[in-house]
């Protein structure tokens, strides 16, 4: 069915006045090309190459802009020429380009390679300028579709931090200018080009005014944005965290994820937003004196942000095999599970503290995962209970295995304990000291630069490193995809929570050859337990108690938890049998600790301390970049040279065109030239007394020639035949004489315009 069509229009004020190419359009186009190039360059950290990109982009855009608006018929030729030159350059440099693209991709995807130099992508970026300029030009000026480019550039900008690409303020400003000004130009009808055979379209004068006004206002917004970012960025980030926390918690509560128990060894690469939902209910036979660690997971192999579960069964099997008891591997495993608890129990003094009896009840009713206290033995009578399970365990301070106190009939068990421990220790020396060095090159290099041997030294180094280079926060932000979490935490963000501290400490222990495991579960403070009416001590464990720590293997203790997360005051909370805080302080004083990683070369591009400082750093960098300042003269050169060539070509073309014109067109051009020179402004050449007036204005010209010229033109216009060649030549001769006479009367700037812009002479 046919529909009614509507069209709104307001008649233009001055339809004759046609605005051609606006400088606003040229600037917007150049800003867009430069912004996209800068974003790509920022990915490989080659800001300093901007000195060559920006002038080239400006020159290319200016050429396209000029040809399109002022020499439309040369446009296809220009595009073809540009394509041929770019194609030829791409062909000649094909191997370089392929290599650069490959290096660029590798650099983006594997940021973790320490001290890797930025790949040289200058040639590729330069060759991108022409197609990029043409793309922007076609979309904005031919198809008049800004939304595609707006979405593309915003997406590029939006997802850059995912690959840890930080931008300079200049890039952001260029992008804003391009996006907003072109938007206004498109929306206000600022970009209107006359169709070939349609001269009825109105000029776009007001659209450009709107764009200029908006650009001015945008500048104010940019200044205000800079001030706000500089002064209140912390508050804004806190606000963002609060928002994300609200969404995260709400989503967790609605989806029921808040009740999920802590499992697995996946390191979170985002913020932590506990909801306070209860996970476990613990019941102790008496009041504890130490923090209780309930282990749910121990990490074996680290595979970039994720730990595989430790396979003790395999290790114990190998240990049994080493001891010549491979057929008893299941017995060995069962013995090992309770070994330290049992040995401590059997070698205790009569008046030594009794083990704690712990009952664990999962509040969500699911018992797929069990949580085990250290130095413990599972109570077999609770194995089938759906309402919780029980463990008997000793606190760390109560662990005191003295094999000499073993009763004679338990001598064999003591011997078996000793040999199994040695065999296990021997096995884990290779298994739990493995690290993917290629993923954590900076940590590997750090350990190599600080060779340490004894456990106290190593522990001191690791905990001091963590305490002095990172602070605890539950919202450290998201780790970029191409960074390892541990290195990003220690070298870039300098803040994180238990998972990040434990991960980094575990990797460092392993790098120093100390068998260590990443453990997750719950940490319950002794003060969390309250006395119940039935005499037991109870505590409800929530997701706020979810925790990660390091396990190191100590003789006569087995796997022992080591707290890697600093205390609330920022000091080390590490504590394990043999760890002496006095030694720790002495070692620190001895090394004159300087907190190396934070002052290392890998300073963050995305600043975390003070954005104003980042801006001043950017400015300092700009000022110190002598290469950039020295190359500033290239900017006008790059614009002037093509401009001069274009103007020269334009003049020659116009003069040639005038030579091939017929006498009527030459006469019209003569009138146009007179008007340009400010002569006979109110005459259009058709007046009877025009020849007389022209003779009076230009006395250098013979009056009879002028009169004859007018007659010839009249004859050409109204006569039955075209004038002869001689008559045509006479008109042209008068035109040339007149142009010289008018030229002499002009001032210098108008002379330049007369000769090179209008090409009358």
Q: Under rule CB under 8 A, which residues in 177-196 are in contact with another protein?
A: 180, 183-184, 187-189
Rounded to a whole number of angstroms, the minimum distance from the CB of residue 192 to another protein is 9
Among 71, 99, 122, 209, binds another protein (CB under 8 A): 209
DSSP 8-state symbol, 454: S
- Pick between residue 15 and residue 256 the one whose CB is nearest to another protein: 15
Q: How far apart are CA 545 and CA 82, in angstroms?
A: 65
Under the binding rule (CB under 8 A), the answer on residue 384 touching another protein is no
DSSP β-bridge partners for residue 284: 358, 537
Q: How far is CA 92 from CA 53, 126, 129, 638, in A?
A: 20, 14, 17, 24
Q: Burial, 667: exposed, middle or buried (Cβ in 10 Å; 0-12, 13-18, 19+)?
A: buried
- Pick between residue 189 and residue 441 the one whose CB is nearest to another protein: 189
- Pick between residue 76 and residue 270 the one whose CB is nearest to another protein: 270
Rounded to a whole number of angstroms, the minimum distance from the CB of residue 221 to another protein is 4
- Pick between residue 84 and residue 228 the one whose CB is nearest to another protein: 228
DSSP 8-state symbol, 117: P
Rounded to a whole number of angstroms, the minimum distance from the CB of residue 244 to another protein is 7
Measured on CA atoms in the order 383, 385, 388, 393, is the torsion positive or negative? negative
430, 510 contact by CB (below 8 A): no
Q: How far apart are CA 210 and CA 216, in angstroms?
A: 10
Rounded to a whole number of angstroms, the minimum distance from the CB of residue 485 to another protein is 14
Residue numbers 267-306 binding another protein by CB under 8 A: 270-271
Q: How far is CA 457 from CA 529, 575, 637, 715, in A?
A: 35, 14, 62, 109
Residue numbers 123-182 binding another protein by CB under 8 A: 147, 151, 154, 157-158, 161-162, 166-169, 171-172, 175-176, 180
Rounded to a whole number of angstroms, the minimum distance from the CB of residue 3 to another protein is 7
- Pick between residue 183 and residue 335 the one whose CB is nearest to another protein: 183
Rounded to a whole number of angstroms, the minimum distance from the CB of residue 22 to another protein is 14
Rounded to a whole number of angstroms, the minimum distance from the CB of residue 699 to another protein is 44
H or E stretch covering 286: none
Rounded to a whole number of angstroms, the minimum distance from the CB of residue 273 to another protein is 13
Alpha helices in 160-276 (DSSP H): 169-187, 205-255
Among 1, 254, 384, 589, binds another protein (CB under 8 A): 1
- Neighbouring CB atoms inside 10 A of 97's CB total 17
Rounded to a whole number of angstroms, the minimum distance from the CB of residue 86 to another protein is 31
Question: What are the φ/ψ torsions at residue 549 (nearest 5 degrees)?
Answer: -150, 180
Q: How far apart are CA 365 and CA 279, in angstroms?
A: 10
**E strand spans, 354-458:** 356-362, 372-373, 376-378, 389-393
Q: How far apart are the first and last CA of the chain?
A: 60
- Pick between residue 240 and residue 719 the one whose CB is nearest to another protein: 240
DSSP codes of every residue in 409-423: GGHHHHHHHHHHHHH
Under the binding rule (CB under 8 A), the answer on residue 493 touching another protein is yes
- Pick between residue 99 and residue 610 the one whose CB is nearest to another protein: 610
Parallel, antiparallel or unpaired: strands 292-302 and 278-284:
unpaired
Residue numbers 572-611 binding another protein by CB under 8 A: 606-608, 611
Residue numbers 426-485 binding another protein by CB under 8 A: 477-478, 480
Question: What are the φ/ψ torsions at residue 210 (nearest 5 degrees)?
Answer: -60, -45
Q: How far is CA 362 from CA 287, 389, 532, 567, in A?
A: 21, 9, 19, 28
547, 561 contact by CB (below 8 A): no
Residue numbers 626-645 binding another protein by CB under 8 A: none
Residue numbers 71-90 binding another protein by CB under 8 A: none
H or E stretch covering 306: strand 306-309
| Residue span binding another protein (CB under 8 A) among the ranges 46-54, 204-212, 359-367, 660-668 | 204-212
- Pick between residue 226 and residue 425 the one whose CB is nearest to another protein: 226
Residue numbers 211-270 binding another protein by CB under 8 A: 211, 213-214, 217-218, 220-222, 224-226, 228-229, 233, 236-237, 239-241, 243-244, 270
Q: Which structure tokens are listed for 517?
A: 């495991």
H or E stretch covering 355: none
Rounded to a whole number of angstroms, the minimum distance from the CB of residue 258 to another protein is 21
- Pick between residue 8 and residue 254 the one whose CB is nearest to another protein: 8
- Pick between residue 206 and residue 346 the one whose CB is nearest to another protein: 206
Total binding residues toward another protein, as defined by CB under 8 A: 71
Measured on CA atoms in the order 445, 448, 449, 450, is the torsion positive or negative? positive
Rounded to a whole number of angstroms, the minimum distance from the CB of residue 714 to another protein is 39
Rounded to a whole number of angstroms, the minimum distance from the CB of residue 56 to another protein is 24
Rounded to a whole number of angstroms, the minimum distance from the CB of residue 27 to another protein is 17
- Pick between residue 144 and residue 692 the one whose CB is nearest to another protein: 144
Residue numbers 13-32 binding another protein by CB under 8 A: 13
Among 206, 335, 367, 576, binds another protein (CB under 8 A): 206
47, 169 contact by CB (below 8 A): no
Rounded to a whole number of angstroms, the minimum distance from the CB of residue 104 to another protein is 21
| Residue span binding another protein (CB under 8 A) among the ranges 53-61, 201-209, 333-341, 453-461 | 201-209
Rounded to a whole number of angstroms, the minimum distance from the CB of residue 157 to another protein is 7
Question: What are the φ/ψ torsions at residue 388 (nearest 5 degrees)?
Answer: 110, 170
- Pick between residue 220 and residue 589 the one whose CB is nearest to another protein: 220
Under the binding rule (CB under 8 A), the answer on residue 614 touching another protein is yes
386, 310 contact by CB (below 8 A): no
Rounded to a whole number of angstroms, the minimum distance from the CB of residue 439 to another protein is 20
Q: How far is CA 434 from CA 319, 510, 520, 623, in A?
A: 18, 6, 19, 46
Under the binding rule (CB under 8 A), the answer on residue 676 touching another protein is no
Q: Which long-range contacts (CB under 8 A, 24 or more apart) does 86-93 make?
A: 86/127, 86/130, 86/131, 89/127, 90/127, 93/123, 93/127
- Pick between residue 144 and residue 403 the one whose CB is nearest to another protein: 144
Q: How far apart are CA 702 and CA 496, in angstroms?
A: 92
520, 265 contact by CB (below 8 A): yes
Among 55, 82, 207, 390, binds another protein (CB under 8 A): 207
Under the binding rule (CB under 8 A), the answer on residue 12 touching another protein is yes
Contact letters (x/-) for another protein, 391-430, by CB under 8 A?
A: ----------------------------------------
498, 515 contact by CB (below 8 A): no
Measured on CA atoms in the order 124, 130, 135, 141, is the torsion positive or negative? positive
Rounded to a whole number of angstroms, the minimum distance from the CB of residue 321 to another protein is 49
Q: Which structure tokens are listed for 355?
A: 């083990």
Q: How far apart are CA 540 and CA 370, in angstroms?
A: 16
Of the CA atoms within 13 Å of residue 475, those in its CB half-sphere come to 15
Residue numbers 324-353 binding another protein by CB under 8 A: none
- Pick between residue 185 and residue 514 the one whose CB is nearest to another protein: 185
- Pick between residue 607 and residue 685 the one whose CB is nearest to another protein: 607
- Pick between residue 13 and residue 672 the one whose CB is nearest to another protein: 13
| Residue span binding another protein (CB under 8 A) among the ranges 200-208, 558-566, 594-602, 732-740 | 200-208
- Pick between residue 615 and residue 757 the one whose CB is nearest to another protein: 615
Q: How far apart are CA 268 and CA 62, in angstroms?
A: 49
């Amino acid at each position: 069915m046919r529909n009614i069509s509507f069209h709104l229009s307001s008649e233009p004020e001055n339809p004759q006045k046609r605005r051609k190419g606006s400088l606003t359009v040229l600037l917007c186009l150049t800003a867009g090309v430069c912004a996209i190039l800068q974003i790509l360059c920022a990915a490989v950290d080659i800001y300093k190459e901007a000195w060559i990109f920006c002038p080239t982009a400006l020159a290319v855009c200016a050429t396209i802009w000029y040809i399109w608006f002022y020499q439309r018929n040369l446009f296809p030729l220009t595009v073809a020429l540009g394509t041929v030159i770019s194609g030829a350059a791409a062909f000649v440099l094909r191997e370089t380009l392929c290599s650069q693209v490959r290096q660029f991709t590798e650099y983006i995807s594997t940021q973790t390679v320490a001290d890797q130099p930025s790949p040289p992508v200058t040639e590729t970026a330069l060759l991108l300028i022409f197609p990029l300029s043409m793309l922007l030009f076609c979309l904005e000026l031919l198809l008049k579709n800004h939304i595609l480019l707006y979405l593309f550039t915003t997406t590029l900008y939006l997802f850059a931090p995912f690959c840890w690409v930080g931008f300079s303020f200049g890039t952001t400003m260029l992008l804003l200018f391009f996006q907003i000004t072109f938007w206004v130009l498109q929306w206000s009808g600022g970009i209107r080009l006359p169709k070939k055979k349609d001269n009825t379209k109105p000029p776009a004068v007001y659209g450009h005014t709107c764009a200029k006004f908006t650009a001015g206002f945008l500048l104010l917004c940019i200044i205000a944005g800079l001030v706000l970012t500089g002064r209140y960025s912390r508050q804004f980030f806190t606000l963002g965290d609060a928002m994300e926390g609200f969404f995260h918690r709400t989503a967790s509560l609605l989806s029921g994820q808040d009740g999920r128990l802590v499992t697995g060894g996946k390191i979170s690469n985002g913020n932590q937003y506990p909801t306070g939902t209860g996970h476990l209910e613990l019941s102790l036979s008496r009041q504890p004196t130490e923090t209780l660690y309930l282990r749910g997971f121990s990490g074996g192999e680290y595979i970039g942000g994720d730990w595989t579960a430790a396979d003790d069964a395999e290790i114990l099997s190998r240990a049994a095999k080493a001891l010549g008891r491979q057929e008893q591997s299941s017995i060995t495993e069962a013995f090992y599970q309770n070994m330290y608890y049992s040995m401590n129990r059997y070698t205790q003094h009569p008046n030594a503290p009794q083990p704690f009896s712990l009952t664990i009840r999962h509040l969500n009713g699911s018992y797929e995962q069990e949580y085990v206290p250290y130095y413990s033995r599972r109570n077999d009578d609770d194995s089938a209970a759906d309402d919780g399970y029980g463990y008997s365990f000793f606190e760390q301070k109560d662990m005191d295995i003295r094999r000499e106190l073993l009763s004679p009939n338990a001598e064999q068990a003591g011997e078996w304990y000793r040999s199994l421990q040695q065999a296990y220790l021997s096995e884990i020396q290779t298994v739990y000291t493995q690290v993917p060095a290629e993923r954590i090159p900076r940590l590997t290099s750090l350990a190599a630069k600080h060779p340490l041997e004894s456990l106290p030294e190593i522990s001191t180094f690791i905990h001091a490193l963590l305490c002095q280079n990172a602070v605890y926060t539950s919202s450290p932000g998201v780790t970029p995809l191409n960074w390892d979490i541990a290195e990003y935490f220690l070298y870039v963000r300098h803040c994180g929570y238990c998972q990040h501290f434990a991960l980094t400490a575990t990797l460092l222990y392993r790098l120093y050859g100390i068998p260590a495991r990443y453990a997750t579960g719950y940490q319950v403070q002794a003060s969390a337990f309250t006395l119940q009416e039935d005499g037991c001590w109870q505590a409800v464990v929530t997701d706020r108690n979810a925790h990660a720590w390091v396990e190191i293997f100590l003789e006569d203790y087995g796997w022992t938890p080591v707290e890697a997360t600093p205390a609330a005051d920022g000091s080390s909370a590490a504590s394990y049998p043999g760890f002496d805080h006095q030694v720790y302080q002495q070692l620190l004083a001895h090394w004159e600790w300087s907190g190396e990683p934070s002052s290392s070369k890998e300073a963050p591009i995305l600043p975390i301390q003070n954005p104003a400082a980042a801006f001043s750093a950017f400015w300092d960098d700009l000022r110190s970049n002598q290469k950039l300042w020295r190359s500033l003269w290239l900017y006008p050169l790059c614009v002037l040279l093509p401009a001069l060539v274009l103007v020269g070509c334009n003049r020659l073309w116009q003069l040639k065109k005038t030579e091939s014109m017929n006498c009527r067109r030459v006469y019209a051009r003569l009138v146009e030239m007179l008007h340009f020179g400010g002569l006979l402004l109110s005459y259009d050449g058709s007046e009877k007394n025009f020849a007389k007036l022209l003779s009076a204005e230009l006395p250098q010209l013979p009056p009879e020639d002028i009169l004859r010229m007018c007659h010839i033109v009249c004859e050409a216009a109204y006569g039955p035949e075209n004038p002869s060649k001689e008559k045509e030549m006479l008109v042209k001769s008068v035109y040339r004489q007149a142009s010289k006479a008018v030229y002499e009367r002009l001032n210098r700037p108008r002379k330049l315009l007369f000769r090179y812009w209008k090409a009358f002479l």
